[in-house]
Amino acid sequence: SAVISQKPSRDICQRGTSLTIQCQVDSQVTMMFWYRQQPGQSLTLIATANQGSEATYESGFVIDKFPISRPNLTFSTLTVSNMSPEDSSIYLCSAQIGMNTEAFFGQGTRLTVV
């Protein structure tokens, strides 16, 4: 299994600013992902964080808005840039030890943009 620490756990941010969310895994993992979960809804995959290379973004998400870093096998960051109230959501980091294995999730970051 993997234990994931995500921070901050919540934040209230001003419109137009950026927030960087950190995700630390207690062991090396093959795959790391970032999801968004809007209130009362399911998880939407933002991107796959690739170690040592650019992230792979899903349709509707772009690097300029959601830059992602993954410098090693245990750490990743997601930045929400130039925020607007529509970005208010829960952002979740997840990790998989291997392809098609279960995903382990961080506690999530509850972001409110005012």
Nearer to other proteins among residue 13 and residue 97 (C-beta): 97
Nearer to other proteins among residue 50 and residue 81 (C-beta): 50
Instruction: Please write down the HEC assignment for all residues of 12-70.
Output: EECCCCCEEEEEEECCCCCEEEEEEECCCCCEEEEEEECCCCCCEECCCCCCCCCCEEE
Q: Is the separation of the CB atoms in 29 and 97 below 8 Å?
A: yes
Nearer to other proteins among residue 1 and residue 14 (C-beta): 1
What tokens appear for 57 in the block? 């973004």
Residue 24 within binding range of other proteins, rule CB under 8 A: no
Peptide bond into 39 cis (omega under 30): no
CB of 42 to other proteins, least distance (A): 5
Residue 111 within binding range of other proteins, rule CB under 8 A: no
Which of 59, 85, 99, 114 is in the footprint of other proteins by CB under 8 A? Answer: 99
User: What does the binding site for other proteins look like in residue numbers (CB under 8 A)?
Assistant: 31, 33, 41-43, 45, 48, 90, 92, 94, 96, 98-108, 110
